């Protein structure tokens, strides 16, 4: 386990379509210091999850990665051309069907209608929404809406996927199903993932690495490598080694709660 203010970055990996934060700091105009000296990188075949107390700056970090927000210190190295981004809210257009919503990003990227129809069909299958193409968001469950949001980003075949607590609003069993599926997609599709969550078991189950952030101003206070091979079976959650690692992450997280 690593403890300290900053983590080593790997410049070679960032050139192959991943992500690197270099000494990122964020102080808002009202003087709120949200982030301080955040440095870490995301390799091509990594799924890194950040856990941290509410308000420590996790969403701010993702907004900086996506380019929605300019940091007040440091730099970020990322290819934003085809970036997957799944928010806590599925952000679907209510007047479009599942098919129409899934085609949206491809449409905005100027992909021709025939091609994007095919792409949408492919990713709808990948997330298990086949048969619901003609449904509107209001007739979908929370989990299905998140699947739809995931499919929409998958059409761009993004090398990097950002997830901001996407499954926070669904029940625990549905969340576990979505974690199983996300982990399979990570393997099949080969994207690098940066995932934010409050759930320690979600973090450990899906990730290659878990980073723990302190309370605001957020800085990385601990890092855990997750040693379990992919694909990870659902029963892994009952493995004593899994529980032990969750306990260690929890300990670090609680240690830094103010």
Ligand X SMILES: Nc1ncnc2c1ncn2[C@@H]1O[C@H](COP(=O)(O)OP(=O)(O)OP(=O)(O)O)[C@@H](O)[C@H]1O
Beta carbons of 249 and 213 less than 8 angstroms apart: no
Shortest distance in whole angstroms from residue 12 CB to ligand X: 29
Q: How far is the C-alpha of 194 from the C-alpha of 161, rounded, in Å?
A: 6
Toward Mg ion, which CB reaches closer, 59 or 248?
59
Shortest distance in whole angstroms from residue 87 CB to ligand X: 11
Q: Which of 27, 59, 72, 187 binds ligand X (CB under 6 A)?
A: 59
Shortest distance in whole angstroms from residue 53 CB to ligand X: 7
Q: Which of 6, 59, 174, 250 binds Mg ion (CB under 5 A)?
A: 59
For the chain, what is the largest distance between any 2 Cα atoms, rounded to a whole number of angstroms? Answer: 54
Shortest distance in whole angstroms from residue 125 CB to ligand X: 32
Which listed option, Mg ion, ligand X, none, makes contact with residue 216 (CB within 5 to 8 Å by class)?
A: ligand X
Toward ligand X, which CB reaches closer, 76 or 124?
76
Does the protein bind ligand X through residue 54 (CB under 6 A)? yes
Does the protein bind ligand X through residue 55 (CB under 6 A)? yes
The CA–CA distances, whole Å, from 245 to 26, 55, 80, 184, 255 equal 31, 24, 33, 21, 15
User: Which segments within the chain are labelled E, that is strand?
Assistant: 19-27, 33-42, 47-51, 73-78, 83-86, 160-164, 192-197, 209-213, 220-225
Binding footprint of Mg ion on the chain (CB under 5 A): 59
């Amino acid at each position: 386990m690593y403890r300290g203010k900053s983590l080593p970055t790997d410049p070679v990996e960032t050139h192959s379509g991943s992500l690197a934060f270099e000494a990122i700091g964020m102080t808002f105009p009202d003087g709120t210091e949200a982030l301080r000296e955040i440095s870490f990188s995301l390799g091509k075949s990594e799924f890194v999850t950040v856990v941290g107390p509410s308000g420590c700056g996790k969403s701010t970090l993702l907004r900086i990665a996506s380019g929605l927000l300019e940091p007040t210190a440091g730099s970020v190295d990322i290819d934003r051309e085809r970036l997957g981004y799944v928010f806590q809210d599925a952000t679907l257009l209510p007047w479009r069907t599942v098919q129409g919503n899934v085609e949206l990003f491809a449409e905005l990227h100027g992909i021709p209608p025939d091609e994007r129809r095919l792409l949408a069909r492919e990713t709808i299958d990948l997330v298990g929404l086949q048969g619901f193409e003609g449904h509107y968001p209001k007739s979908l469950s929370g989990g299905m809406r998140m699947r739809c949001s995931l499919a929409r980003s998958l059409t761009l075949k993004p090398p990097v996927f950002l997830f901001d607590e996407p499954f926070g609003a669904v029940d625990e069993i549905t969340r576990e199903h979505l974690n199983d599926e996300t982990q399979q997609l990570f393997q099949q599709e080969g994207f690098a993932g940066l995932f934010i969550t409050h759930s320690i078991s979600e973090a450990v189950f899906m990730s290659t690495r878990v980073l723990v952030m302190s309370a605001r101003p957020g800085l990385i206070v601990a890092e855990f490598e997750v040693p379990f091979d992919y694909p990870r079976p659902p029963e892994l959650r009952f493995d004593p080694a899994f529980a032990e690692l969750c306990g260690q992450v929890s300990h670090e997280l609680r240690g830094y709660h103010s």
